[in-house]
Each structure stands twice: as structure tokens, then as C-alpha cells.
A and B are shown apart, each in its own frame.
Chain A
Amino acid sequence: MSDETLKTTPLYEAHVAAGARMVPFAGYSMPVQYKDGVLKEHLWTRENAGLFDVSHMGQARLRGVSPLSAFEEVTPGDFIGLKPGKQRYSVLLNRTGGIIDDLMAARPISFDGTGDDGLFVVVNGACKDNDFKVIDDELAGQVRIERLEDRALMALQGPKAAEVLAAHAPQAAAMVFMDARAFSAFGTDVIVSRSGYTGEDGYEISVPASEALRIWNTLLADERVRPIGLGARDSLRLEAGLPLYGHDVDETVSPVEADLAFAVAKKRREARDFPGAARIARELAEGPSRKRVGLIVLEGAPAREGAQIADEAGNVVGVVTSGGFSPSLGKPIAMGFAPPALADVGTRLKVIVRGKAQAAEVAAMPFVPHRYVRKL
């Protein structure tokens, strides 16, 4: 894709002015790193607060007579049971139980308690056009998709995120993990969820595109906050054990294989009323043929996407789907697929990097503990 066809987010000029290295990502020109570099940005987020531009992601509202029950036709989640003010992680499924995309869906009630504003959905940037088409095709006549292309999205992540945001939006301090609220802050209307994709406490903040630059700069004026690029976003989510769509998960992978069975709600397992339910029920009962595992590489180079996984005898048994150097642990980590018999924590495996078999071990995920604030 040539640069001319790349889209930009409302924060593009701020990234360039801050010395970011811009790369094509999901059809957008996005910052992969700023002047500090990936390692420092990663550690800053783990210790302070990192600000991420995630405006490439797809934001939409699903409205209709009963958008919650309609959304259950394309996902395995319990959305009828989603309480006002809560957010849920889920997956869009195809008819064979493969994952079309993973997403966050919320009912961001306003603090004044006014009305039900439908379902606020955030999907991956690279998948958004297809996702909304799938939802539109499957739920035609039931829900109306209102794409929020006039809104930017930023994530404020890290142990100091809460105190930083509280200075501008005191309401945010009263929220816990996976709460979603719509309110006025920064002199405009915002939709805030206490969630993210780094494993840290933090927020995702949807703001009008026209206000994004001002809010971005307001947050960065706090010395506890630095801008963080996609490079560190990737290493942070890898350490947090969170799969990246298009790498660890794709249309062939089921939620059970992806170790995302928590996204298949109990009542939905019983009802078997979602796309691909037959396969997913079978995998839940009998176990999947492959499973997403975490690996710590015990020697040698980082094992990256595409590296083969072998058993101790050297037989190829799987493949690395994402991997790299863990800045927090100081050693290479990876995710990949392995047969369930070789998926127990502590199992010794090999990863093949440039023809060399290196020792690796199945590790529990997250590699670095989550620090979500579930209780105040």
C-alpha cells in the first residue's frame, strides 16, 4: 500500500511533531514508536501512564428494538445479561465457529441515568469494514449500525492512569474494570471504559475527533504521561497474554482453541444458539485439537511469528503466532499453538529459529500479572 492511500487519525500531526516513526497499520499511518523507543515506552507504561492513539479502531453504536439480544446472534456472549454501565469482551463468530474478530461491547450509561443508548462496540481497525458488514448482513432489520467515524479513541494505560484521568474526569475514579460511562469531561462528551489491552489498569476514551488533539495534549501535559507507539502496545499485550487478531487468532481459530472459552457464556453453551455452536460445544466437551499456549524461550534468539514449535524429539507440533523480547521479564516470550497433550505449563518444547532448535517451556499466561482494578 502506498503512503498516498493511507488514512490518518485526528492525532497524526501530533505524532509527527513528537518525532514518531510512522508505519502503515490497518490502512492508517500510525506511530510505531516515539523518540524514547519501544523498550522505554513499554517500561514507562508498566510504571507510569502511557497514552496510545487507537483511533484506527472501529467504533459504532448498534441501535434497534433489542440490540442486546440481536448481538447474541453473532457472538457467544451473554449480552442480554450485560448490565447498564458494563463492558464485555467478545468475539464475532463465523458459521464454523471461527473468529471473525474480537471486540469490546458496552452499555455506557450516562451518570444521570438517562436512557439506554444501545450497544457501543469497538472492533479492530484492520477488520472494521468487514465486521460491520457481517453485523449488518446478519442482523439486518434488527439493528442499525451507526459508525462513529467522527470520534477518535485513545487509551491511557498504566498504574498512574487513574490518578491522571481523575484530575480531568473525577467520574472515572469511581469506575472499576470493565465499567463504561458516557459523561462530560475535557469540555466535551466522552465515552470512557476502564479497560485496555496492556494488562495494566487504565481507560479507553472515545472523544469527538475535533477535540482529540486538544485532549491528547492536555493528557500529555501531565509529566506522568508519555505517548506510546504500536511497538510497545504489541509487547505489552504479549506480556499480558492477550491475543492479537490476524496473528494469534483468525477465521480458522475457535474461541476454545484460542483459550478464549471464557467468552462463551454458560447460558449460551447450554442453548447452543450461536454461530459454530456444534464445533465449539464439541471442543468444550472433548478438548480442541490445538490450543493457544504461552512460551518462554529459554535460550537464544526471540522466536517470532511463523517459527515452528517442536517437541523434545524434534517433531514439529505447532507454530509461533506472535513472539518477541519481553521488556519486563528481560527474556524472549511467545504465543503459539500446540497440541493439548503438550500444552501444560512446564512442558519442555523447542522453537526453531533460523534452523536452530532452542529450548522453550510452556508458561502460564499472562506472563506479567494483570493489574486491573476490580474493586475500589
Chain B
Amino acid sequence: MRFTKDHEWVVLEGDVATIGITAYAADQLGDVVFVETPEPGKAVKAGDNLAVVESVKAASDVYAPISGEVIEGNAALGDAPETVNDQPEGAGWFARIKVADPSEVEALMDRAAYEDFLGTL
């Protein structure tokens, strides 16, 4: 699992990346009440808006950590947005992307580096 400074995580299997937000981000957001996930076929560049997550408190953008084409959004979050809080780094994933360049994933932080980064916040 790789991480960004915007608190997204990426797991790469073959050329398909699964993307979500970290447990830290989910905790900061508080109770998630609505998630808007991307449609299949959408092309995204690293840094583009990928999804929107709304907690009781506010709406937040989720950015694409890498470039590629959306294969699917996690439709299950439509009826159960609280999954983002319950299993942020598992069933609460947001989207799967067919990655253009797997080396973009390698360039992201590993867990140790991400935890060091959290220590600086």
C-alpha cells in the first residue's frame, strides 16, 4: 500500500490501482454521510478530483494519486457511506483505476514514510 500527502492510499495489482482514503483521513473527516464516486471510463491525471466525500461536518475532495482511466467507482458506498469510517483501508475504497504508468505508484510514500509524515502534522 502506498500513500499521498493528501491522505489517499493506493494498492496496485497488475495495472489496476485501488484507491481510498487513509484511516487518519477518515478519522479527521468524522462520520461520512455521502460519497460521490467517479464513472467508469473517466480519464484522470494525478492531482485531479476523483471523488467527493461528505462528512457530517463538510465536503472534501478526494484527488487521484496517479493518472489513468477509471474502471469502477465503489457503488456500495452509495448505500453505506459509513464504510469509509469502518474500513477506510479496505471495503471503504473509492475507485479502481487502470494505471497509465505503474512507476507513479512506486514514487508514492510507503507506510513508514506516511507515518513519519503524519508525525509532522
Within 8 Å of chain B (Cβ to Cβ): is A324? yes
9 closest Cβ contacts across the A-B interface?
A: A39-B31, A325-B33, A38-B56, A301-B34, A37-B30, A37-B31, A325-B56, A38-B30, A39-B56
- Contact string against A for B residues 29-66, beta-carbon threshold 8 Å, 1 for contact and 0 otherwise: 01101101000000000000000101111110000000
Count of residues in B whose CB is under 8 Å from the partner chain: 12
Instruction: Name which residue of chain A comes closest to B33, CB basis.
Output: A325
Docked complex: A292-329 residues within 8 A CB-CB of B: 300-302, 304, 324-325, 327
Q: Is A332 an interface residue (CB 8 A)?
A: yes
Q: Does any Cβ of B come within 8 Å of A33's Cβ?
A: yes
Give the distance in Å from the alpha carbon of A42 to the alpha carbon of B31 in the complex: 11
Secondary structure of the A contact surface, majority rule: mixed
Interface residues of A (CB under 8 A from B): 32-33, 37-40, 42, 231, 235, 300-302, 304, 324-325, 327, 332, 354
Return chain A residues, CB-CB under 8 Å to B57. Answer: 32, 38, 231, 324
Q: Knowing that A39-B56, A231-B56, A301-B34 are A-B contacts, what are 13 other residue pairs whose CB atoms are under 8 Å apart, sorted by A's residue number? A: A42-B56, A231-B57, A300-B34, A302-B33, A302-B34, A304-B59, A324-B56, A324-B57, A325-B33, A325-B56, A332-B33, A354-B36, A354-B52
Measured CB to CB, the residues of B under 8 A from A are 30-31, 33-34, 36, 52, 54-59
Q: A325-B56, A354-B52 are in contact. Are A231 and B33 (CB under 8 A)?
A: no
| A332 B34 Cβ-Cβ under 8 A | yes
Name A304's closest neighbour in chain B (CB-CB). Answer: B59
| Whole-angstrom distance between the Cβ of B69 and the nearest chain A Cβ | 22
Which chain A residue has the least Cβ–Cβ distance from B58?
A304
Whose C-beta in chain A lies nearest to the C-beta of B34?
A301
Chain A residues within 8 Å of B58, by CB: 304
CB distance from B84 to the nearest CB of A (A): 13
Chain A residues, CB < 8 A from B52 = 301, 354
Provide the bound-state CA to CA distance between A229 and B54, in Å: 19
A and B contact pairs by CB, cutoff 8 A, 21 listed: A32-B57, A33-B30, A37-B30, A38-B57, A39-B31, A39-B56, A40-B31, A231-B57, A300-B34, A300-B36, A301-B34, A301-B52, A301-B59, A302-B54, A302-B59, A304-B59, A324-B56, A325-B56, A327-B56, A332-B33, A332-B34
- Residue on B nearest A40 in the bound complex, by CB: B31
**A325 and B54 contact, CB distance less than 8 A:** yes
Measured between beta carbons, the chain B residues less than 8 angstroms from A33 are: 30
Q: Give Cα distance in the complex from A231 to B55, angstroms.
A: 11
Give Cα distance in the complex from A40 to B30, angstroms. 11
Residue of A whose beta carbon sits closest to that of B28: A21
Cβ distance A333 to chain B, nearest Cβ, rounded Å: 12
User: Which residues of chain B are near A301, meaning CB under 8 Å?
Assistant: 34, 36, 52, 54, 59
Q: Which residues on B sit within 8 Å (CB–CB) of A354?
A: 36, 52
Q: In the complex, what distance in Å separates the CA atom of A116 from the CA atom of B89?
A: 62
Query: CA separation between A318 and B58, bound complex, in Å?
Result: 21
On chain B, the residues within 8 Å of A40 by CB distance are: 31
- CB nearest neighbor in A for B85: A37
State A208–B34 Cα separation when bound (angstroms): 42
Contacts of B59 in A (CB 8 A): 301-302, 304
A residues within 8 A CB of B36?
Answer: 300-301, 354
Q: What residue in chain B is nearest A231 (Cβ atoms)?
A: B57
